[in-house]
């Protein structure tokens, strides 16, 4: 029955989605102002949703032009649907123009079709259809629209400063059947207290070391520059042997007495570092075999003692596992060293609910002190978890199963989704297990079947939670 309801709206759904996709809603700080806090594009996309709502007789509420909501339903309890209308930049290599949507027999192609404009329109239509059915609402619904999901979540930060937090809800910004748990995500730096006290004449002096740019990626390149006073050929031979032994690619050359060493690894997302190859930590592992100057030795020893070949916090004394959320993971994403400044490691640590984050970190801080390092904690997002047996999650899953005949279970991930902005929310669609994931990539598309099926699922789910009760 829900499928047939949606069928009557198919053409309108596509028209409204096309309009939203045509807006280049990429964050643009160079044009940020009070009128459009993250640039004109995201604001225009937000206003576009307000216009749809006004046309359809739904109330809207704006929050400083950076977020807002569409309101529906009635009752004491509030159900939240958290969407976003900003997109990542188009990037190169598209077969069509990314902000001129192309509609073919079976799909719609444009930036944002999957992330998150398609799912936003699907959820919007689910609410609109129920509203037009004049159902007897038992809950209020807020479709909360953010405009800065792809960058800093300034939208939800601002929104929830003043606006009501829904008791339950979902974010249609990931995958079906549902993601009910997300690890805590933290970044911290290990920073060397450089004292510049090397007076001895080391055989080898480390000048610079660079690897990686992002905390949440395993670095696939590393480079070191070393001054070698003697035995240059031996060092190079050992390095080549090291590459062979570890099945790594790499290269070296000598320029004015400075040896340049390069290692290549395999970049993967930092939420699962064990399947990548950390070029930086491997190169440090090689440097550990050289008799380096004192500062560099301490720098290299941090890696050897705590980081190298340790993806689950084991060497840092932070190994931890839960049945529902899996393991602590640690990724060393950024490594830098300069002979006049000392070294720094940038680490991304993800942890399940129950892990004693602060205690573990302060214990670790004491351990690295001995090697002349201090710990600097950056951003920390605590774990997000909703019991998958919670009645509302079960209703979401039931709607998904009814519309797909797929009996997959809700699951937890190491990454973060927009759902964690809700006190009690899960990520719910709109990608299906069989969808091709082109989020943030060229030629992003959503199939019409996926778009309409997601709408049916949201429709059935909202009906069972907000109408049937
Ligand atoms: Zn998204």
Listed as ranges, residues in the chain with pLDDT below 50 are: none
**Gap from CA of 53 to ligand 1 centroid (Å):** 21
Known active-site residue 367 = no
* Distance from residue 306's CA to the centre of ligand 1 (Å): 34
| Ligand 1 ion local residues (Cβ < 5 A) | 115-116, 173
Q: Compute the distance from residue 286 Cα to the ligand 1 centre, in Å.
A: 40
Q: What is the pLDDT of residue 230?
A: 84
Is there a contact between 446 and 107 (Cβ–Cβ < 8 Å)? yes
Helices and strands (DSSP H and E) totals, the chain: 11, 24
Residue 126 CB coordination number (10 Å): 27
Question: What pLDDT does residue 261 have?
Answer: 98
Within 13 Å, how many C-alpha atoms sit on residue 166's CB side? 26
Per residue in 165-223, pLDDT (tens digit) is 999 999 999 999 999 999 999 999 999 987 666 556 778 999 999 999 989 899 999 99
Confidence at residue 104, expressed as pLDDT on a 0 to 100 scale: 97
Report the pLDDT value the prediction gives residue 196, as an integer from 0 to 100. Answer: 60
- Contact at 8 Å (CB) between 88 and 153? no
CA 149 to ligand 1 center in whole angstroms? 6
Give 85-99 pLDDT, tens digit per residue: 999 989 889 999 999
pLDDT for 198 = 58
Domain range summary for the chain, segments of one domain joined by +: 2-183+384-467, 184-381
Q: How many CB atoms lie within 10 A of CB 218?
A: 27
Q: Check if 149 is active-site.
A: yes
| C-alpha gyration radius of the chain | 26
Which pair of structure tokens corresponds to residue 74?
């009635």
* Interatomic CA distance for residues 427 and 178, integer angstroms: 6
For the four alpha carbons of 77, 45, 135 and 407, in that order, the dihedral sign comes to negative
Please provide the DSSP assignment of 169-202 as one string.
Answer: EEE-SEESS-EEEE-EEEEEEEEE-------S--
86, 115, 182, 444: the active-site residue: 86
Q: How far is the CA of 110 from the centre of ligand 1 (A)?
A: 14
- Indicate the pairing of strand 329-338 with strand 342-351: antiparallel
Q: What was the pLDDT predicted at 229? A: 85
Which residue is it, tokens 């459009």? 36
Catalytic residue (one of 16, 24, 115, 149): 149
Query: Residue 417 to residues 36, 184, 186, 363, 385: CA-CA distances in angstroms?
Result: 24, 11, 14, 30, 12
132-168 pLDDT, tens per residue? Answer: 999 999 999 999 999 999 888 999 999 999 999 999 9
Residue 200's pLDDT is 65
> What CATH number labels 184-381?
3.30.70.360
**Bond before 468 cis per omega within 30 degrees:** no
- Helical H runs in 305-423? 357-369, 391-404
Query: How many whole angstroms from 113 Cα to the centroid of ligand 1?
Result: 10
- 2-183+384-467: which CATH topology? Aminopeptidase (3.40.630)
Is the sign of the CA dihedral 427, 156, 70, 42 positive or negative?
negative
């Amino acid at each position: 029955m829900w499928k047939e309801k949606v069928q009557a709206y198919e053409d309108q759904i596509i028209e409204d989605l096309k309009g939203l996709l045509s807006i280049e809603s990429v964050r643009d700080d160079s044009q940020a102002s009070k009128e459009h806090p993250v640039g004109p594009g995201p604001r225009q996309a937000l206003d576009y949703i307000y216009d749809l709502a006004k046309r359809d007789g739904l109330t809207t509420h704006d929050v400083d032009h950076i977020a807002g909501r569409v309101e529906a339903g009635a009752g004491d309890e509030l159900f939240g649907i958290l969407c976003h209308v900003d997109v990542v930049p188009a990037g190169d290599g598209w077969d069509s123009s990314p902000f001129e949507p192309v509609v073919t027999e079976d799909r719609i192609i444009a930036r944002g079709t999957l992330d998150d404009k398609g799912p936003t329109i699907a959820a919007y239509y689910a609410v609109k259809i129920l509203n037009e059915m004049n159902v007897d609402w038992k809950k209020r619904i807020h479709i909360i629209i953010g405009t800065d999901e792809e960058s800093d979540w300034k939208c939800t930060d601002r929104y929830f400063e003043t606006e009501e937090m829904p008791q339950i809800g979902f974010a249609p910004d990931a995958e079906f059947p549902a993601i009910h748990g997300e690890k805590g995500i933290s970044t911290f730096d290990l920073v060397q207290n450089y004292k510049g006290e090397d007076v001895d004449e080391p055989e080898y002096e480390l000048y610079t070391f660079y690897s990686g740019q992002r905390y949440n990626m395993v670095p696939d390149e590393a480079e070191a520059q070393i001054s070698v006073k003697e035995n240059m050929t031996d060092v190079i031979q050992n390095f080549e042997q090291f590459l062979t032994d570890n099945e790594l690619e790499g290269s070296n050359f000598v320029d004015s007495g400075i040896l340049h060493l390069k290692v290549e690894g395999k970049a993967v997302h930092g939420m699962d570092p064990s399947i990548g190859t950390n070029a930086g930590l491997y190169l440090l592992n090689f440097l550990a075999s050289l008799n380096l100057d004192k500062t560099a030795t301490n720098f290299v020893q941090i890696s050897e003692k705590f980081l190298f070949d340790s993806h689950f916090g084991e060497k840092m004394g932070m190994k931890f596992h839960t049945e529902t959320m899996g393991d602590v993971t640690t990724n060393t994403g950024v490594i830098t060293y300069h002979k006049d400044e000392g070294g720094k490691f940038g680490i991304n640590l993800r942890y399940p609910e129950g892990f004693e984050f602060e205690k573990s970190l302060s214990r670790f801080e004491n351990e690295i002190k001995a090697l002349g390092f201090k710990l600097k904690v950056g951003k920390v997002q605590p774990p997000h978890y909703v019991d998958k047996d919670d009645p509302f999650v079960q209703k979401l899953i039931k709607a998904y199963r009814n519309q797909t005949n797929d009996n997959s279970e809700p699951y937890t991930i190491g990454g973060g989704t927009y759902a964690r902005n809700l006190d009690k929310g899960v990520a719910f669609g709109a990608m299906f297990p069989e969808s091709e994931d082109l989020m943030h990539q060229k030629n992003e598309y959503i199939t019409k079947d996926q778009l309409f099926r997601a709408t049916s699922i949201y429709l059935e789910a909202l009906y069972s939670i907000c109408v049937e009760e």
